[in-house]
Amino acid sequence: MINRRKIIIALGAAALASPLSPLAQPAAKVWHVGFLHSESLARAGDRLEAFRAGMRELGYEEGVAALLSNIGNVHLNLFDYPKALECYDKALMIHEELGNKQGVAGILGNIGIVHGNLSEHAKALEYFEKSQAICNDHDSILLHPVNHGSF
């Protein structure tokens, strides 16, 4: 049986915690925008490119970089390495302009994967090392789980 003391303590703790919960919410609304499709990977690139153009018109530069990275991933999966590198290079420029070190590290890793798949292992290693250097230079724990994949 639950005694009276435990109920009073639980109610008191709940009363103390309840005014703090609104303070834990972000001050501004963070919008998450995504793109879903049910078509083949070959057709996704065109659709993503159109979506990316719309995002850029609305001023979402960092979102554009993420979309360019996703388009590059589609081309990577289709073994279209020149197109993948083109998308990754554009995304890299945007991340660098915005000072987004996490984005730069991730894109450098993706570029390394492309070069690895092209059997350009020295070049792949160069990009992986650049990515790792950025991760090591920053205190953010978010930088460290960069996935470089395998080839």
Domains, in order of start, for the chain: 40-143 (1.25.40.10)
- Most confident of the following: 37-41, 100-104, 117-121, 133-137: 117-121
Sign of CA dihedral 134, 137, 143, 149: positive
- In this prediction, residue 146 carries a pLDDT of 44
pTM for the model: 0.58
Quick check: 119 pLDDT over 90? yes
- Is pLDDT of 132 > 80? yes
Structure tokens at 98: 């915005």
Kindly report, residue by residue over 61-93, the tens digit of the pLDDT.
657 888 899 999 999 999 999 999 999 999 999
